[in-house]
Structure 1
């Protein structure tokens, strides 16, 4: 399968790229990035690095490079507190994601063989909230932003059922792959996931799909 990966300079996206290279079922990964990547990734024969400065626009020259791609693992975004302000968090997490998904539906999905659907896996977060008016006490901006992206993607999939599928994974905390055994056991108990396990799970979903559109941590741990 030929896939798109975003967020490769980040914690989760970087793990997805490494696991995609190791996965025999992933035949090629188009890594979309605004920054240069390390040579061990950029020079790998399974990887094509596509430098794209503005994820809110998708010009023909970018989409032409992606023709024939069958799915995407989207790992751009994070907690709202990681951005300078909430508006920037919304732009990166909501606007960029939905602009890309719409471009993929319009330009990439129709180029796939008949009856094959483009698959989009979004890295969301635990407790994402679709109801933008709901009174939230903890992490309200992050939860509303993630929920708005999830709903936007699902609405897009519902409007294009014949050619576009979406899944949103909701990890809680994410630990490094070299976490101690005790930390790993504790993480699994409280709903946190190892970053490599998360990456493998997202790749498994883009390859094979999943019964549920929203995939919570407990389900991710079983993949």
Structure 2
């Protein structure tokens, strides 16, 4: 199994890479990002599986980047603008990163050559718990953002269907992704209040990473993975290690 992790320097991607390097079925991990991906701590000799690939334009991939990505069996796509980052950039930029990059990435990566491989390519996309594809269901909190992310989900499923079996796609819809020690007590309390107010569930970074890696390596359980699925599968996988 040759795996691409797109958005490789984020905290979720870093955990996915750490787990992937230790996975016996994963032979190589391509960390795709704008910056060099650091080797996670305590991975030992398996760090040799990691190759960091820098991409300067996620809408138009250079031939050299395509060559580095060719031959992959699956991609876990983590690139997005989080709700907390929205205030720091123009809306058009957020749309480009969330929608433009994801669609261009899907169309480019899934069409690269895979010599001698007949199994479908697996594309796992991280979205959000409150995203919607139907404008009539637009949430009252961050409605435009949730609808935009839902449009990306819909397009990814359409592209997978148009591949006529060559690509399988799954969308993960996590709530708040948490990690022990990532936030202080005050920020943790604020997040808990906000999560309660908007009904946002929680998943641990180790759980979601274990789930997405399992789906990429062993096959997709379902098209849409809700937060409860991410917790359930992740806990099962982690207990089996």
- Global fold match (TM > 0.5): yes
TM bin (shorter chain):
0.7 to 0.9
Partners of 1:9 and 1:124 in 2: how far apart?
Answer: 17
Match of 2:99 in 1: 94
Q: Map of 1:29-68 to 2, 5 A cutoff?
A: 29-40=29-40, 44-68=47-71
Paired with 2:110 and 2:116, the residues of 1 have a C-alpha distance of 11
Distance 1:4 1:39, change over 3 A: closer
Match of 1:212 among 198, 222, 234: 222
Deviation at 1:28, TM superposition (A): 0.7
Distance 1:39 1:158 in 2: 35
Q: Unpaired runs of 5+ in structure 2? A: 183-187, 234-241
TM-score for both structures, normalised by structure 1: 0.87
1:151 aligned to 127, 131, 154, which one? 154
The gaps in structure 1 that reach 5 residues or longer are none
1:80–1:89 Cα contact (<8 Å) kept? no
Q: Which runs of 4+ in 1 moved over 3 A?
A: 132-135
Give CA deviations for 1:16-62 in whole Å, capped at 9, x if unaligned: 11111122221110011111233558x92010111111111122221
Equivalent positions of 1:158-177 (< 5 A) are 158-177=161-180
Q: Secondary structure at the match of 1:19?
A: helix
Aligned-pair Cα RMSD in Å: 2.5
